[in-house]
C-alpha cells in the first residue's frame, strides 16, 4: 500500500527524497550519465517510511528496485529533476537531495541519431551548466518563508591539499542547507557498493557525526539525524 505508518518518530512528516543519477541527452539514443546506483537514496526512502514519514521519492536512473509504500516520480535529466523537485518541495517538511545531478548538459540535443562525419573531423560536445537544485531549494525556502529541513549530499575525493571534510564544510556553507552528508567517492568506492561511510555535517553547530555500514544502516543513521534536527 502507499499509506504511511501511523506511528514512529517521523509520523506526520512529509519527506521528499531524490535518488539516482540524471542522464543528459545528446541525441535520441545517447546521453551523458554517471555511476550513481540510487541505492543510498532508496535506502533513505525506506528508512524514512519505516520511521512513519509520508515519503515522496523522485527517482532518476537507478540500478535497484524502487521501494513500496512511498509515492514515486520518475525523471531523467537534471532539468526534469529540477522542476519536479522544486514543485514537490512546496509541501515537504524535509527534503533530502541524494540524487547525483549532472553539473552540465549538452548545449544542443540532436533530433536524430548523430552520424559520423563524412570528412573525418571529430565532434566536440559543448556543455552548459545545469541549475543547482539544492541551492534553488534553499532560495525557495527563504522566499516563501516555509519551514523546511534541507539535506544535501556531497561526493568528494579530496586532493593533495584539502581533505574530504574540508571540501564538505566549504560546500555546506556554499549551499546553505542544514545538513550535508559527506562521503568519499571513487570508481570502486561507494558508487554501486552496498556499504558506505559518511560524515554528517550540520550548519547549526551540532557535532560532526560519522557512520559506516550498509546503505540501510547509514540511511537509518541519517534519518535519526534528521529526527534530531526536527527535535523529535
Ligand atoms: N546538486 C544539485 N544540483 C546540481 C548539482 C548538485 O542539487 N546541479 C546537489 C546534489 O544532489 C547534492 C549536492 O548538491 O545533494 C552536492 O552535490 P555535488 O556534486 O557534491 O556539489 P556541486 O555543487 O555540484 O559541486 P562540485 O563542483 O564539487 O561537483
Ligand atoms: Ca556536482
pLDDT digits (tens, 9 = 90+) for 42-93: 999 999 999 999 999 999 999 999 999 999 999 999 999 999 999 999 999 9
The ligand 1 atom at the shortest distance from the C-alpha of residue 136 is: 7
Per-residue model confidence as pLDDT tens digits over 177-218: 999 999 877 545 556 677 889 999 999 877 899 999 999 999
CA of 6 to the centre of ligand 2 (A): 37
Q: What is the pLDDT of residues 12-55, one digit of tens each?
A: 999 999 999 999 999 999 999 999 999 999 999 999 999 999 99
For residue 133 and ligand 1, the question of a CB distance below 6 A is answered with yes
- Checking ipTM against 0.85, whether it exceeds it is yes
Contacts 24+ apart (CB under 8 A), 188-197: 190/155, 191/35, 191/36, 191/37, 192/35, 192/37, 192/39, 192/63, 194/39, 196/40
pTM: 0.94
Residue located via cell numbers 550535508: 180
Q: Summarize the annotated binding site as residue ranges.
A: 103, 113, 131-134, 153, 171, 175
For a ligand 1 pocket test, name from 88, 97, 139, 183 the mutation site with the most ligand atoms within 8 angstroms of its C-beta.
97
74 is catalytic: no
Closest CA to 203 of 185, 182, 180: 180
Angle between helices 215-230 and 39-50 (to 10 degrees): 50
The rounded radius of gyration (Å) of the Cα atoms in the chain is 18
Q: Give the chain's end-to-end CA distance (angstroms, integer).
A: 26
Amino acid at each position: 500500500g502507499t499509506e504511511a505508518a501511523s506511528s514512529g518518530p517521523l509520523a506526520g512528516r512529509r519527506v521528499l527524497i531524490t535518488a539516482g543519477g540524471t542522464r543528459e541527452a545528446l541525441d535520441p539514443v545517447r546521453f551523458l550519465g554517471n555511476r550513481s546506483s540510487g541505492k543510498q537514496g532508496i535506502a533513505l526512502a525506506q528508512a524514512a517510511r519505516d520511521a512513519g514519514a509520508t515519503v515522496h521519492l523522485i527517482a532518476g536512473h537507478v540500478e535497484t528496485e524502487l521501494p513500496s509504500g512511498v509515492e514515486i516520480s520518475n525523471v531523467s535529466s537534471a532539468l526534469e529533476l529540477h522542476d519536479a523537485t522544486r514543485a514537490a518541495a512546496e509541501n515537504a517538511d524535509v527534503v533530502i537531495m541524494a540524487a547525483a545531478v549532472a553539473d552540465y548538459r549538452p548545449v544542443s540535443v540532436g533530433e536524430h541519431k548523430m552520424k559520423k562525419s563524412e570528412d573525418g573531423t571529430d565532434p566536440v560536445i559543448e556543455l552548459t551548466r545545469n541549475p543547482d537544485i539544492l541551492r534553488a531549494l534553499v532560495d525557495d525556502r527563504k522566499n516563501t518563508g516555509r519551514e523546511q529541513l534541507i539535506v544535501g549530499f556531497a561526493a568528494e575525493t579530496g586532493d593533495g591539499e584539502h581533505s574530504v571534510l574540508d571540501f564538505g564544510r566549504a560546500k555546506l556553507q556554499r549551499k546553505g542547507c542544514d545538513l550535508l552528508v559527506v562521503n568519499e567517492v571513487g570508481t570502486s568506492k561507494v558508487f554501486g557498493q552496498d556499504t558506505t561511510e559518511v560524515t554528517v555535517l550540520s550548519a547549526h553547530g551540532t557535532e560532526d557525526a560519522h557512520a559506516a555500514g550498509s546503505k540501510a544502516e547509514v540511511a537509518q543513521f541519517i534519518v535519526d539525524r534528521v529526527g534530531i534536527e526536527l527535535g523529535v
